[in-house]
């Protein structure tokens, strides 16, 4: 883990307290810009590191602003392989996913997983799940307990699951 002052000279982009620059180096330095939606609905093409560094919503699989539809609230898109991605209905349909509606979040109810704390939905339980969960939490999209809110109770229940379940 690094502070902003430590991460930047290493060529990384500071993504927040508790997020490891080294573990996200490839994602942060991905030369392929994708849609990054600002809270006001504007869209710019940038890397994941720059987008998260500005506390905006990175549309992972929406490579263009036309597809991202930033003016519309994102929703959960359930993709093959137990993957959930936030995006527009347009990007979800293009990817062959099932769109769960505007303002829905990626959680175990919208896109069920074999292990609910496998937040990256890759079949493995490791620290990257924690990083992804907290990135989603910061964006307000980590309703782990399916109560319709993203709050500290979700953090507690995710932590309990990560430490004790699916092992």
Residue ranges covered by each domain of the chain: 113-167
Token digits of residue 104: 């829905």
- The string of pLDDT tens digits covering residues 15-33 is 554 444 444 444 555 667 7
Rounded Cα gap, residues 134 and 8, in angstroms: 21
Q: What is the mean pLDDT of residues 60-67?
A: 70
Calculate the CA dihedral of residues 98, 104, 110, 115 and round it to 10 degrees. Answer: 120
What is the percent of the chain with per-residue pLDDT over 90, rounded to a whole number? 8
For residue 98, list its beta bridge partners. Answer: 78
CB 23 within 8 A of CB 15: no
pTM of the predicted model as reported, rounded to 2 decimal places: 0.42
């Amino acid at each position: 883990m690094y502070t902003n002052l430590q991460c930047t000279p290493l060529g990384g982009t500071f993504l927040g307290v508790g997020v490891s620059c080294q573990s996200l180096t490839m994602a942060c330095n991905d030369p392929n810009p994708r849609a990054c939606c600002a809270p006001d609905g504007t869209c710019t093409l940038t890397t994941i590191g720059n987008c998260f560094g500005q506390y905006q919503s990175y549309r992972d699989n929406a490579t263009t602003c036309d597809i991202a539809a930033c003016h519309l609230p994102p929703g959960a898109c359930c993709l093959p392989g137990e993957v959930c991605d936030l995006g527009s209905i347009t990007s979800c349909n293009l990817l062959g996913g099932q769109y769960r509606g505007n303002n829905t979040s990626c959680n175990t109810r919208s896109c069920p997983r074999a292990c609910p704390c496998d937040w990256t939905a890759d079949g493995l339980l490791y620290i990257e799940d924690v990083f992804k969960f907290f990135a989603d939490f910061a964006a307000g999209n980590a309703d782990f307990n399916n109560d319709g809110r993203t709050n500290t109770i979700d953090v507690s229940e995710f932590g309990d699951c990560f430490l004790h379940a699916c092992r």
